[in-house]
Chain A
Amino acid sequence: MNNSLGVYIHIPFCSSRCKYCDFVSSTGGEDAMREYVAALKGEIQARATDYVNYTVDTLFIGGGTPSALYVGGVEEIILHLRRSFNCDFTEATVECNPESLTENKLDEYISSGVTRLSIGVQSLSDNTLSALGRRHTAPMARQAVSLAVESGLDVSCDIMLATPYQSPHSAARDAEELSDMGVSHISAYMLSLEQGTPLAREYSCGKYSYDDDCAADIYQAVADKLHEKGFDRYEVSNWAKEGKECLHNLKYWKRLPYLGLGAAAHSLIGNTRFYNSHSIEEYLEGARDSSYPVIAEAVLTDKEEEEELIMLSLRTSSGLDTSQMGKEGRRYIERARRNPRYFNTHGDKIVVKDEFIPVLSQVTLLLMD
């Protein structure tokens, strides 16, 4: 009997670096990309032997910007994956940016078996986009979204909350417009100012200001609008029309097995977490001698698993199923019942009440030891 496996493939290339980003990415040219894809293929092959008992049912190619890859690159990767792993995709997502999503690439994705596109729209306001250092404009974003929707693939858009020049009203208007265009999934993340990024510097020198209450208002406005538009919040930052939830992302929250391939990709297999080097250079080196070393491997203790399960599953609308936790589960149910202001309990399940989702970490701590 085969276990299902999610595969995440990291494409660490972008046409330029956004001002808020501190993630692994390179603005390298086609040669660098080809070298990387070759390494990736090597890793796919090398790892595959450990997963003969698994079937890959969800694939997520993220980045970076997978759509920034040369034409044919994504196809090459997926083909190689199919050759090396048992694949039966229920869902296969490619992350795209508006400026690099072309009809050619769309055709390439569709013919490779991609079912879903996740577009980094971030905002439909030019002021905001340029403050974030995005390469695309609002009209380009609209064009990419309609192109994607017309292709018949499931389309998800990332939007960023609490960004420069954004108001609760404008954020809700963006969400509404995307919904009206036929997008069936929206991921809305709060801007997080990472140390050392140009945007963080601009905030600290006073070019923009950040206000927690305003951020909360923006989040709430978007949540309300999406609710009105028939979306369900199935996870803190993710909304979907019925049946359009991202199955791959759900694996992260449900602690189902996923394997990350490529630089900086993280994996969870059973009770072991591991990841590849965050440096592209180091990753390529590992490919050259075919060693593909994982950088850190941690076998989680029962306690750690328990805490992860709480932290991750409370993010979802289906909540924490304490029946998975054996005896320990009772304690958590009781704790939740003692805090009825924050939690709903149904049988063995604990779900954070809607109004406390924006302060989820604090609420989560109420359950933890």
Chain B
Amino acid sequence: MSRDQSNIRNFCIVAHIDHGKSTLADRIMDVTGAVSKREAKQQLLDSMDIERERGITIKLTPVRMEYEYGGKTYIFNLIDTPGHVDFTYEVSRSLKACEGAILIVDASQGVEAQTLTNVYLAVDNDLEIIPVINKIDLPSARPEEVKAEIEEVIGIPADDAPLISAKEGVGIEEVLAQVVDRLPPPSGDIDKPLKALVFDSYYDSYKGAVSIVRIFDGTVSAGDRIMMMSTGMQFDVTEVGFFTPNSRAVERLEAGDVGYLCASIKNVSDTKVGDTITSSVNPTPEPLAGFKEAEPMVYSGVYPADGAHYDDLKDALEKLKLNDAALFYEPEVSAALGFGFRCGFLGLLHMEIIEERLEREFNLDLVTTAPSVSYRVVTTSGETVEVSNPTMLPPAGQIDHMEEPVVKAEIFTPPEYVGTVMELCQDKRGTFVNMTYIEAKRVMLEYEMPLNEIIYDFFDSLKSRSKGYASLDYEILGYKRGDLVKMDILLNGELCDALSLIIHKDKAYARGRVIAEKLKDIIPRQLFEVPIQAAIGGKVIARETVKAVRKDVLAKCYGGDITRKKKLLEKQKEGKKRMRQVGSVEVPSEAFMTILKFDK
């Protein structure tokens, strides 16, 4: 009883962050009756607090819906995509699972950096694109101009673009009609060997790692033996099904379907995003193209604030890793911070999300070190070493040169901020590539820029310099030789390993000064004077001093009431416990984060 593929529409929604992707998705589910409104709130949005609070989608949840149109019942598989640059690879994988995409553009903001990135991804994947103009209920909406922008910048016709307000539920039916009329149905061959794309996975404590798949050819049922083509690992399928959005087991999945597959897979990392699943009995000769291992781009040391919680942190990372194959971690020891982990992330947002989840969901108090990229060090003996932790850098004498990752950055900004944005890019060692006037009010700047400069505070600076209007996207170009040095921070003459960082030589002096000044404000006065020095090699480039403390509170003790004094001492004792001992100096945990933000 195979289904008619011509009734299936697999599509996703792509948009710049905040342009209303999740709202439209919710609205489509309302209209198709996939979930009641109340359920929608609880089930869809509760999945991850952080997603809701930040208004972003991290995990991809495909939802299967039925839609009556023109007397026929269609099956819609809506595949949500993450809207952030850190997750570009995930976006590209989920786009592969679709035949079409709804492109949402905000009626007042117009085309933004990620709109473009995602559209390019959609075009690369040969998707049919339906442009939709959202938020037409806002007074600042300028739909006609935005239509023109879409045609000019993206180069797709936007004349018939539905004008909608996902928030108000306006225009949704028209969007769905276009999905049926304009998007092609899938065209796989049910009789060919199984060929399924894994475009997401998650960990379920009962079912193990669950793969979310798009079946391109063939069928798969419980009891089948399958093979992961990137690793050759084989598993027995225990269950297949759809999300409606609750998981619903079915007998089998067929070419054209989007659904899930369980096969007693223990680790999410064994069902890699982008991998092809086939039948181990009758394998397909060719996997789907474009599989990539998730590669961390940003690294940071993550330590428990209280050393006694090392095992808790380890457990928490293991649990998160179950659900997040892109998270990388390995044990690391710091003289200042004790036992912890060096973690690798897809980008800064991914890092923030993981750290926030560790703190929130696992109740951990963390100390994290400044994020670093992974450098390539070519030694004098000709070896190439990857270094993501500044303290692991070989001695200066053994370094022939160093290379750092560079990105192509695309920045969209209103023309009045071009000057200040260019100044910022220049300041961040950017190399100008191109500037395009998209229309009278929008300029696209292209820069080649070291990733190292972007991961500190580039995004925040960009937003503040452009009053929030500029948007950024970037992709990794590769490695480039750079004049990089390791800067150390010494407290009372002792090296604090957790504060070391790798930095461009020209930036070292200024950054060293700022860090020393910040540390001076953050490190409390102690019983002795604490010199703070920033040094490159043996050379001190900046110095500040935390003066010795000279007085405690010497308040009156009324009538033998020593409770206040006890409380005060207790408080000081607690405060002391939260400090990290660097040699003889007590350093508050925040100090390790100060070098994150150094813009004045």
Do A and B belong to a common assembly?
A: yes
- Chain A residues in contact with chain B, CB under 8 A? 6, 8, 10, 23, 60, 62, 158, 161, 187, 189-190, 192, 212-213, 215-216, 219, 236-237, 251-252, 258, 260, 264-268, 275, 308, 311-312, 341-342, 356, 358-365, 368
Contact assessment for A363 and B554 in the assembled complex, using a CB-CB cutoff below 8 Å: no
Contact assessment for B554 and A358 in the assembled complex, using a CB-CB cutoff below 8 Å: yes
A190 contacts across to B, CB distance below 8 A: 551, 553-555
A10 contacts across to B, CB distance below 8 A: 559
In the complex, A158→B556 CA distance in Å? 10
- Chain B residues in contact with chain A, CB under 8 A? 526-527, 547, 549-563, 565-566, 568-569, 572-573, 576
What is the distance, in angstroms, from A199's C-beta to the closest C-beta of chain B? Answer: 13
Contact assessment for A268 and B550 in the assembled complex, using a CB-CB cutoff below 8 Å: no
Beyond contacts A8-B560, A60-B559, A219-B551: 11 other A-B pairs, Cβ-Cβ < 8 A, are A189-B556, A213-B550, A236-B554, A237-B554, A260-B560, A266-B561, A266-B563, A308-B562, A311-B565, A361-B568, A362-B572
Contact assessment for B561 and A275 in the assembled complex, using a CB-CB cutoff below 8 Å: yes
Contact assessment for A252 and B560 in the assembled complex, using a CB-CB cutoff below 8 Å: yes
- Dominant SS among interface residues on chain A: mixed
In the complex, A47→B108 CA distance in Å? 79
Contact assessment for B551 and A264 in the assembled complex, using a CB-CB cutoff below 8 Å: no
The 27 listed contacts between A and B (C-beta, < 8 Å) are A10-B559, A23-B558, A62-B559, A158-B556, A187-B556, A189-B556, A212-B549, A236-B554, A251-B560, A252-B562, A258-B560, A260-B559, A264-B559, A264-B561, A265-B559, A265-B560, A266-B563, A268-B560, A308-B566, A311-B569, A342-B527, A358-B552, A359-B550, A359-B551, A361-B569, A362-B526, A362-B572
In the complex, A275→B560 CA distance in Å? 10
What is the distance, in angstroms, from A119's C-beta to the closest C-beta of chain B? Answer: 14
B573 contacts across to A, CB distance below 8 A: 365, 368
A187 contacts across to B, CB distance below 8 A: 556
A265 contacts across to B, CB distance below 8 A: 559-560
In the complex, A23→B557 CA distance in Å? 11
Measured CB to CB, the nearest residue on chain B to A9 is B559
Contact assessment for A216 and B551 in the assembled complex, using a CB-CB cutoff below 8 Å: yes
Measured CB to CB, the nearest residue on chain A to B570 is A307
Contact assessment for A252 and B569 in the assembled complex, using a CB-CB cutoff below 8 Å: no
In the complex, A342→B528 CA distance in Å? 11
A365 contacts across to B, CB distance below 8 A: 569, 572-573, 576
What is the distance, in angstroms, from A235's C-beta to the closest C-beta of chain B? Answer: 10
B558 contacts across to A, CB distance below 8 A: 23, 62, 264
What is the distance, in angstroms, from A231's C-beta to the closest C-beta of chain B? Answer: 16
A60 contacts across to B, CB distance below 8 A: 559
Given the interface pairs A266-B562, A311-B566, the reply to whether A358 lies near B551 with Cβ below 8 Å is: yes
Q: Which of these, A189, A258, A275, A341, contacts B554 with CB under 8 Å? A: A189
Measured CB to CB, the nearest residue on chain A to B576 is A365
What is the distance, in angstroms, from B578's C-beta to the closest C-beta of chain A? Answer: 13
B549 contacts across to A, CB distance below 8 A: 212, 359, 362
Contact assessment for B562 and A363 in the assembled complex, using a CB-CB cutoff below 8 Å: no
In the complex, A192→B567 CA distance in Å? 15
- Dominant SS among interface residues on chain B: loop
What is the distance, in angstroms, from B555's C-beta to the closest C-beta of chain A? Answer: 4
What is the distance, in angstroms, from B529's C-beta to the closest C-beta of chain A? Answer: 13
B526 contacts across to A, CB distance below 8 A: 362
A341 contacts across to B, CB distance below 8 A: 527
A268 contacts across to B, CB distance below 8 A: 560
What is the distance, in angstroms, from B546's C-beta to the closest C-beta of chain A? Answer: 13
Measured CB to CB, the nearest residue on chain B to A368 is B573
In the complex, A189→B572 CA distance in Å? 20
A192 contacts across to B, CB distance below 8 A: 553, 555-556
In the complex, A364→B568 CA distance in Å? 12
In the complex, A216→B552 CA distance in Å? 9
In the complex, A260→B562 CA distance in Å? 13
B547 contacts across to A, CB distance below 8 A: 213
In the complex, A308→B560 CA distance in Å? 13
In the complex, A258→B560 CA distance in Å? 8
In the complex, A354→B559 CA distance in Å? 26
What is the distance, in angstroms, from B305's C-beta to the closest C-beta of chain A? Answer: 19
Measured CB to CB, the nearest residue on chain B to A268 is B560
Measured CB to CB, the nearest residue on chain A to B525 is A212
Measured CB to CB, the nearest residue on chain B to A360 is B552
Contact assessment for B572 and A361 in the assembled complex, using a CB-CB cutoff below 8 Å: yes
B552 contacts across to A, CB distance below 8 A: 358-362
In the complex, A275→B573 CA distance in Å? 25
In the complex, A365→B557 CA distance in Å? 19
Contact assessment for A8 and B559 in the assembled complex, using a CB-CB cutoff below 8 Å: yes
In the complex, A192→B576 CA distance in Å? 22
Measured CB to CB, the nearest residue on chain A to B548 is A359
A216 contacts across to B, CB distance below 8 A: 550-551
What is the distance, in angstroms, from B278's C-beta to the closest C-beta of chain A? Answer: 62
Contact assessment for B560 and A312 in the assembled complex, using a CB-CB cutoff below 8 Å: no
What is the distance, in angstroms, from A319's C-beta to the closest C-beta of chain B? Answer: 17
B562 contacts across to A, CB distance below 8 A: 252, 266, 308, 312
What is the distance, in angstroms, from B543's C-beta to the closest C-beta of chain A? Answer: 20
Contact assessment for B559 and A266 in the assembled complex, using a CB-CB cutoff below 8 Å: yes
Measured CB to CB, the nearest residue on chain B to A364 is B569
A358 contacts across to B, CB distance below 8 A: 550-552, 554
What is the distance, in angstroms, from B224's C-beta to the closest C-beta of chain A? Answer: 62
In the complex, A253→B562 CA distance in Å? 9
Measured CB to CB, the nearest residue on chain B to A304 is B566
Measured CB to CB, the nearest residue on chain A to B528 is A341
In the complex, A216→B559 CA distance in Å? 25
Residue from B527, B554, B559, B566 whose CB has the most chain A CB atoms within 10 Å: B559
Contact assessment for B550 and A212 in the assembled complex, using a CB-CB cutoff below 8 Å: yes
In the complex, A23→B555 CA distance in Å? 13
What is the distance, in angstroms, from B570's C-beta to the closest C-beta of chain A? Answer: 9
Contact assessment for A359 and B527 in the assembled complex, using a CB-CB cutoff below 8 Å: yes
Contact assessment for B527 and A215 in the assembled complex, using a CB-CB cutoff below 8 Å: no
B559 contacts across to A, CB distance below 8 A: 8, 10, 60, 62, 260, 264-266
A-B pairs with lowest CB-CB distance, top 10: A216-B550, A192-B555, A216-B551, A361-B552, A189-B556, A266-B561, A190-B554, A358-B551, A266-B560, A8-B559
